[in-house]
Amino acid sequence: MTNKLTIPLPNDMHIHFREGILLDFAVNATAKNFHHAIAMPNLKDPITSYSKAINYYDQIQKISRFKHFEPLVTLYLTMTLMEEDIRLSAQDNRIIGAKLYPAGVTTNSEKGVSDLQACYKILELMEKYQLPLLIHGEVANKEIDIFDREKLFIDELIKITSMFPALKVIFEHISTKDAVQFIEASSINVAATITPQHMILNRNDLLSGGLKPHHYCLPVLKREEHRIAVANAAVSGNAKFFLGTDSAPHPRSQKESSCGCAGIFSAIGALEIYLQYFEAENAIDNFENFAVHNSCAFYGLKPSDKKITFEKSDYIIPAAFTIENHELIPLMADQTISWKILNEL
């Protein structure tokens, strides 16, 4: 039996670092154990230009206490994104892509895209300059059942990937078997991130036996058959799937509310949770590719020469974290995981 596992520092290809008082805690929770992390641009004042992206990068870089950590930032795609911002971003290795939020689909997405066809001109430029497109793949139409929103977005993805075949497209935080099948059938320019929550939880974990606001995220957790398909894709060894936690800190008071916000904080604990799942599925040999090499190969990044070691022993995920007057409740709070991170970097 394997008791220790050493791999290059992993990459988190989808994370929310936020702004203001949460930024320091959120950045350093990730920076400690990761090489790269892609910071999402859906701040209260979204990152809608090249200069805002560099400014956000500088803030993250400055606040990080870990030399090995190399953050990456994204542009927030709006209908008015300028060619010059796309060109400059594509040529700057601190900026990894532009994130498309259908307007209204999730937190701070109001300034996102309300008409996908109308932004094809922008996608054409992104293809020309080779700037990857990261997508929150759900339809924003409020009349559509929330459990169907990802599946129905696949029609849009089929159009985008066939019209712009050289554009790199990342279907973020997939949550359905339909998304898995779409990725498997797509070209090598199309990939997906997978979160820990979409691997280990289904909608009963959100809704049955009492509402669990700390399991509420978007895309919302689905039926067990979807969880199985997503988890199987993650452990399969298929290079089109890679680690992206979608760790999204929200203060406890805003999660435990009559209108609780979407997002699960997993920056602390996610690696151990993923690894425990890979081991349970007899797929530990595929963990390094999922956590490191698949994303490096897709985005053209170099794996870190720093390593992280996991040891087979109990680790209890903290029950909560306090940041000034806010509390954050992590995924699997106060639960025991059978792997822990050994080396304190």
Considering CB under 6 A, how many residues would be counted as binding ligand DOR?
Answer: 10
CB atoms within 10 A of CB 10: 27
The C-alpha angle with vertex 172 and arms to 171 and 173, in degrees rounded to 5, equals: 125
Per CB under 6 A, does 160 bind ligand DOR? no
Residues 107-126 that bind ligand DOR (CB under 6 A): 107
* Distance in angstroms (rounded) separating the CA atoms of residues 344 and 338: 18
Per CB under 6 A, does 16 bind ligand DOR? yes
**Which amino acid, 130?**
Q
Q: Which residue is nearest to ligand DOR (CB)?
A: 263
Per CB under 6 A, does 42 bind ligand DOR? yes
Only one of the segments 121-129, 162-170, 243-251, 281-289 lies at the binding site for Zn ion (rule: CB under 5 A); that segment is 243-251
Find the radius of gyration of the CA atoms of the chain. Answer: 19
Binding ligand DOR (rule: CB under 6 A), the pick from 262, 283, 323, 341 is: 262
Region of residue 232 (phi > 0: left; psi between -120 and 50: alpha; otherwise: beta): alpha
Residues 194-253 that bind ligand DOR (CB under 6 A): 217-218, 248
Looking at residue 28, the DSSP 8-state letter turns out to be H
Residue 316's alpha-carbon distances to 196, 215, 274, 342, in angstroms, are 16, 18, 15, 14
* Residue 171 CB, nearest approach to ligand DOR (Å): 13
Binding Zn ion (rule: CB under 5 A), the pick from 138, 246, 272, 279 is: 246
Q: Which is nearer to Zn ion, 85 or 246 (CB)?
A: 246
Q: Which residues of 248-270 are buried (b: 16+ CB within 10 A; e: fewer)?
A: bbbbbeebeeeebbbbbbbbbbb
* Residue 204 CB, nearest approach to ligand DOR (Å): 18
Residues 84-103 that bind ligand DOR (CB under 6 A): none
Q: Which does 227 bind (CB under 5 to 8 A by kind): Zn ion, ligand DOR, none?
A: none
Residues in the chain: 345
Per CB under 6 A, does 331 bind ligand DOR? no
- Catalytic residue chosen out of the listed positions 115, 148, 246, 314: 246
Burial of 188 (0-12, 13-18, 19+ CB in 10 A): exposed
Per CB under 5 A, does 272 bind Zn ion? no
Give the residue ranges of DSSP H helices in 32-176: 50-63, 83-90, 120-129, 149-163
**Residue reference for tokens 């999660």:** 255
* Distance in angstroms (rounded) separating the CA atoms of residues 199 and 264: 13
Per CB under 5 A, does 85 bind Zn ion? no
* Residue 252 CB, nearest approach to ligand DOR (Å): 14
Please say if 58 is a catalytic residue.
no
Q: Which does 228 bind (CB under 5 to 8 A by kind): Zn ion, ligand DOR, none?
A: none
Which residues are marked as active site? 246
Residues that bind Zn ion (CB under 5 A): 246
Residues that bind ligand DOR (CB under 6 A): 16, 42, 106-107, 136, 217-218, 248, 262-263
